[in-house]
Structure 1
Amino acid sequence: MDQTLYFILLLTALCSVSECVQRQYHFINERKNWTEAQRYCRENYTDLATIDNMNDMNKINSAIKLKQSANNDEVWIGLQWTGRDKWQWSSGEPALYLNWATGQPGASGEECAMMRNGQWPDEECSKSLIFICRSSNNTNTGLVFISHTMKWRDAQRYCRQNHIDLVSVRNQNENQQVEKIMNGSHISDVWIGLFKDSWQWSDQSDSSFRFWHTAEPNNAGVSENCTGLRQDYYGEWHDLSCTRTESFVCYEDKLILITVNLTWSEALRYCRQNHVDLVSVHSEEVQHCVMNVVKRASTEAVWLGLHNYCIMNMWLWVSGEMVCYQNWAPRNGTTENCNLEKRKGAVQSGGDQRWISLPETDKLNFICSRN
């Protein structure tokens, strides 16, 4: 077998499916108000806890149960009310594609979205509708039609408990898939996973995961602008006054954005001397973690551990693995002319955060991996 072909086949075998172990959670059994807890987490870890999904919730609940004293009822997490409304998907994905019906979104108080005739009106979340879940089953679309009518939040809870989440409609093709299911079932209105709220994570994460207890947030005590979870309600969230003193949960990020501008080689050296390595992005899960980190960058692109191996005419990660998962921007990621400037891989800090090829002498922010 030709040596070059053999080497490529060997590298292909080294492709891995990586899960992003972005965060480790640390329960701090000391009573502080929300601002003091935020300061403590930022000084000793990364920030107050950000939560992306039920897997994160289960990790936090386990950490608290191991250390929590019986009299600690509420536990601070990093979610705070801002007063600035934002539409987002229940799954935590950014709402980049929006297909509002004419004149929508409309009245205040209508904070959930449904689909009707292929377009999206907003509606009061307390309305009961049929809904569609995103599932991990092996159907062509990965969508499951649920014929029970529920309020939006009950529908969200049902989808999370029995499937993955309420359906996200991220592009025209997915919109047509949902519309086809509706037409086939002769249904005029269904809930989708789009909702609006005014809550923001302390670290400015785009995560739209919410785990509110029934009828929360309710601002019952006035100025309840911070969030605590309660173990006696399975970790469900309550809005609370930020001046209360409670125990809290910090997280430690396994990816760290370095906002110093360095060339690719300098960035690689920095990461290996101070952390572990420039980040390798082996899967969509790791890319999602990179997207959460990179939005705080001060440059338009951020170095990844991605380099063009000219001898083999292919891209590789500094970890030694091939680029199996692909997230290139158009006209990027093709083979490079090694007689010209050497090029390395970066991720855009804005837009849809795709990978791009840049001269290795460009000076950019970069992401190091801590594990």
Structure 2
Amino acid sequence: MKNWTEAQRYCREKYTDLATVDNMHDMNEINQSVNDGSVEFVWIGLQKAGHDEWQWSSGEPALNLSWGDKQPEGRDICGMIENENLGDLPCYDNRHFICNNTNTELVFVNQMKNWTDAQSYCRQNHTDLVSVRNQNESQQVQQLITNKKNKSQVWIGLFRVRDSWRWSDQSDSSFRYWKSHQPDKYGLGEDCTAFELKALGRWHDISCSQTFPFVCHEDAELILIKENLMWSEALRYCRQKHMDLVSVHSKEIQRRVMNVVKRASTAAVWLGLRHSCTVGIWFWVSGETVCYQNWAPGNGTSEENCEHTVRSGAVQSGGDQRWISRPGNDKLNFICSRL
């Protein structure tokens, strides 16, 4: 039982963040978490950002919210969930809460590489160099390398661009775990970050040209399949071996898709996005409506040609990785979701 701010801090330290509810799938997962009926009014990562504007704890705007009757009341700025409906409560109330867990698996690579080569290796073989976004993820990295002999320093995905530090996979996090008096060489070429086991997992800024082992991460929920199949064949493959073709219903999922799709062998990769000629709309095979959109110019917004074949949605594997409309009988790589 914590107030909203305490709950947010707890989730960021132990997991990833307070939960987001972007779609009906998220709503169903949360309901399953509290389905014994003994808990009502559960904090999620929803907070008022301005007049009639709400945002998630991650900073993303919260759109198409499923508010309960007479909610939000307008007096309070923190969001909760009760019986599939959202509402607002005073932020100082002590309530149960739900955290998002991490979506990544860690891979230790026992090869001596400079930071740039380590980044290239992770992107080619996994997703990217690891991001360490909270104390829990830091402990996971530490546990991974604790039993590796003489591996006192390993690369992680934090690097400096001008006057700011960024994660290689573009994930957002203000969490930093620097060793005392670090970073200490601003402007002197120490623009990459190593995880130092002897310093209890604290970080050290080091010249990117030095060579260390490194830790990659890969998405535990999204799987790139490097087989060239038609859209309907890809859908069948995902439903038989995993769960479904991926639905991209938020900016966060798009970011993860962009990380996964870089390793594709085709110029575009199938998504679980289909066009209905009957009603003239695009829809996700998971049943979600297409609210968040990331179409390339000239795609997805004009009338589709239904004369020869059904059109399906794909994401570009290069460039700015936007969505494009393709004939469903094209043969492409595809992304399956495990959830």
2:184 aligns with 215
How many equivalent residue pairs?
229
Amino acid at match of 1:311: T
Q: Secondary structure at the match of 2:202?
A: coil
Distance verdict in 2 for CA 1:227–1:48, change over 3 Å: farther
Task: Give aligned-pair identity as a percent.
Answer: 43
CA contact (8 A) 1:74 1:228 kept: no
- The yes-or-no answer on 1:327 pairing with 2:326 is no
1:370 aligns with 338
Amino acid at match of 1:301: A
State the 1:251 CA deviation: 2.8
Distance verdict in 2 for CA 1:21–1:367, change over 3 Å: farther
1:50 aligns with 130
CA contact (8 A) 2:184 2:205 kept: no
2:194 aligns with 228
Matches within 5 A, 1:133-172: 152-153=163-164
Distance verdict in 2 for CA 1:226–1:327, change over 3 Å: closer
Amino acid at match of 1:228: A
Matches within 5 A, 1:303-314: 303-314=270-281
- The yes-or-no answer on 1:275 pairing with 2:242 is yes
1:74 aligns with 152
Q: Secondary structure at the match of 1:368?
A: strand
2:104 aligns with 24
Q: Secondary structure at the match of 1:258?
A: strand
State the 1:358 CA deviation: 0.8
1:357 aligns with 325
Select which of 336, 347, 351 maps to 2:315. 347
* Structure 1: unaligned runs, 5 residues or longer: 1-11, 81-87, 91-110, 113-151, 157-164, 166-199
2:19 aligns with none
Distance verdict in 2 for CA 1:218–1:34, change over 3 Å: farther
Q: CA RMSD in A?
A: 4.6
Matches within 5 A, 1:102-113: 112=162
Amino acid at match of 2:291: C
Distance 2:298 2:337 in 1: 27
Distance 1:64 1:252 in 2: 13
Distance verdict in 2 for CA 1:14–1:311, change over 3 Å: farther
Larger mean CA deviation between 360-369 and 70-79 belongs to: 70-79
State the 1:230 CA deviation: 2.7
CA contact (8 A) 2:222 2:337 kept: yes
Distance 1:22 1:47 in 2: 14
Amino acid at match of 1:214: P
State the 1:287 CA deviation: 0.6
Q: Secondary structure at the match of 1:236?
A: strand
* Structure 2: unaligned runs, 5 residues or longer: 1-21, 28-55, 59-99
State the 1:229 CA deviation: 0.6
Distance verdict in 2 for CA 1:207–1:26, change over 3 Å: closer
2:257 aligns with 290
Q: Secondary structure at the match of 1:267?
A: helix
Distance 2:144 2:270 in 1: 39
Larger mean CA deviation between 297-306 and 337-346 belongs to: 337-346
CA contact (8 A) 2:127 2:259 kept: no
State the 1:13 CA deviation: 8.0
2:217 aligns with 251
Distance 1:33 1:225 in 2: 21
Amino acid at match of 1:61: S
Distance verdict in 2 for CA 1:356–1:316, change over 3 Å: same
Map Cα deviations across residues 303-356 of structure 1 (whole Å, 9 max, x no partner). Answer: 101011333332111111111101112222134354442100011122221111
